[in-house]
Amino acid sequence: MQDGRVKAIRDALDSEGFTNVSILSYTAKYASAYYGPFRDALDSHPGFGDKKTYQQDPANGREALIEAALDAAEGADMLMVKPGMPYLDIIRRLKDNSNLPIAAYH
């Protein structure tokens, strides 16, 4: 989702000798009203605007496959979809196209 971030983390970990530390990549993150109750409970709403600018278009499932390939090439060890339940189709597509473990956060 944020191109280059996984590689930067992998390079930093490896250079400090943490080659066995795994990286879980936020491969596909979608805007969702599911987050509202958690933000309410923690009083952690964005101070201004929203976070949709770095979240994917749910109508474009191919974007998740592209991001997964980029994340894997940069050194991700696991891929995550958030929220998970409404995007089971994306989870399935990732599973069918990647050998990495797929995590779902809901």
pLDDT in tens, 14-70: 999 999 999 999 898 887 766 666 667 777 666 655 555 567 887 888 999 999 999
**Short-list 50, 58, 46, CA closest to 83:** 58
Is 7 considered catalytic here?
Answer: no
Quick one: pLDDT at residue 41? 74
Which of 1-5, 8-12, 81-85 has the largest mean confidence?
A: 8-12
Is 82 considered catalytic here?
Answer: yes
Mean pLDDT, residues 88-104:
95
Indicate which residue of 7, 51, 52, 82 is catalytic: 82
Inform me whether the pLDDT recorded for 1 exceeds 60.
no
| Residue 28, strand partner residues | 81
Mean pLDDT, residues 66-75:
95
Quick one: pLDDT at residue 9? 96
Quick one: pLDDT at residue 68? 93
Q: How many whole angstroms separate alpha carbon 59 and alpha carbon 63? A: 9
Residue that wins the pLDDT comparison between 53 and 77: 77
Indicate which residue of 29, 51, 52, 95 is catalytic: 29
Amino acid residing at 36? G
